[in-house]
Amino acid sequence: MSEIFTGIPKIQYEGPASKNPLAFKFYDPEKVVLGKKMKEHLPFAMAWWHNLCAGGTDMFGRDTADKSFGAEKGTMEHAKAKVDAGFEFMSKLGIEYFCFHDVDIIPEADDIKETNRRLDEISDYILAKMKETGIKCLWGTANMFSNPRFMNGAGSSNSADVFCFAAAQIKKALDLTVKFGGKGYVFWGGREGYETLLNTDMKFEQDNIARLMRMAVDYGRSIGFKGDFYIEPKPKEPMKHQYDFDAATAIGFLRQHGLEKDFKMNIEANHATLAGHTFQHDLRVSAINGMLGSIDANQGDYLLGWDTDEFPFDVYSATMCMYEVVKAGGLTGGFNFDAKCRRPSYTHEDMFESYILGMDTFALGLMKAAAIIEDGRVDAFIKDRYASYNSGIGAKIVAGETTLEELAAYADTLGAPELPGSGKQERLEGIVNQILFG
Query: Looking only at residues 246 through 285 of this chain, which bind ligand XUL when binding is defined by CB under 6 A?
Result: 268
Residue pair 281/271 in contact (Cβ under 8 Å)? The answer is no
Q: How far apart are CA 21 and CA 29, in angstroms?
A: 18
Q: Which is nearer to ligand XUL, 90 or 269 (CB)?
A: 269
256-295 mask for Co ion (x: CB under 5 A)? ------------x---------------------------
User: Which entry of ligand XUL, Co ion, none binds 186, CB below 5 to 8 A by partner kind?
Assistant: ligand XUL
Q: How far apart are CA 274 and CA 67, in angstroms?
A: 29
Minimum CB separation of residue 105 from ligand XUL in Å reads 13
207-246 mask for ligand XUL (x: CB under 6 A)? -------------------------x-x------------
Minimum CB separation of residue 258 from ligand XUL in Å reads 24
Q: How far apart are CA 11 and CA 22, in angstroms?
A: 6
User: Which entry of Co ion, ligand XUL, none binds 324, CB below 5 to 8 A by partner kind?
Assistant: none
Catalytic site includes residue 246: no
Question: Is 188 one of the binding residues for ligand XUL (CB under 6 A)?
Answer: yes
Strands 263-268 and 292-296, by their bridges, are: parallel
Count the neighbouring beta carbons within 10 Å of the beta carbon of residue 241. Answer: 14
From the list 50, 101, 281, 348, the catalytic residue is 101
Q: How far apart are CA 138 and CA 84, in angstroms?
A: 18
**Interface pick for ligand XUL out of 162, 186, 217, 287 (rule CB under 6 A):** 186
Window contacting Co ion (CB under 5 A); options: 152-160, 238-246, 326-334, 338-346: 338-346
From the list 84, 102, 104, 175, the catalytic residue is 104
96-135 mask for ligand XUL (x: CB under 6 A)? -----x----------------------------------
Catalytic site includes residue 104: yes
From the centroid of its chain, how far is CA 352?
Answer: 20
Size of the site for ligand XUL (CB under 6 A): 10
Q: How far apart are CA 190 and CA 246, in angstroms?
A: 13
**Interface pick for Co ion out of 104, 338, 353, 360 (rule CB under 5 A):** 338
Question: Is 180 one of the binding residues for ligand XUL (CB under 6 A)?
Answer: no
Q: Which residues bind ligand XUL (CB under 6 A)?
A: 101, 141, 186, 188, 232, 234, 268, 296, 307, 338
Active site members: 101, 104
User: Which positions lie near Co ion, rule CB under 5 A?
Assistant: 268, 296, 338
